[in-house]
Amino acid sequence: MLEDRLAALFKKEEEYAILEKMKGSTLVGRKYQPLFPYFQHLKSDQPDQGAFRIVRSVCIITLSVCMVCLLSQLLLATVRSVYQ
């Protein structure tokens, strides 16, 4: 989560804890468990393949309006990699 957005998402500092800080580039390639079971069949055990993995994006903006843009780019990049 972007540290710049914490105040917009939480009313009090006591509601969250920063466990670790890292650059986004350290997350590229890592896989994650999706929140919903949709598209589970697109998972892959192969590195750099399948859905539910973090891909690099050139558009990182902290404005809340751009969050939809970022999420759609992430989804599009994942879908493209699955169907290549």
Q: Could you read off the pLDDT of 16-52 as tens digits, one per residue?
A: 888 888 887 888 888 888 888 888 788 877 777 778 8
Residue 78 confidence (pLDDT): 67
Residue 79: which pLDDT band, with cuts at 50, 70 and 90? Answer: low
Q: How far, in Å, are 10, 47, 55, 78 from residue 44 at the CA level?
A: 35, 8, 15, 12
> Residue 63's CB: how many other CB atoms inside 10 A?
10
Domain locations in the chain as residue ranges: 25-82
Sign of CA dihedral 20, 71, 51, 49: negative
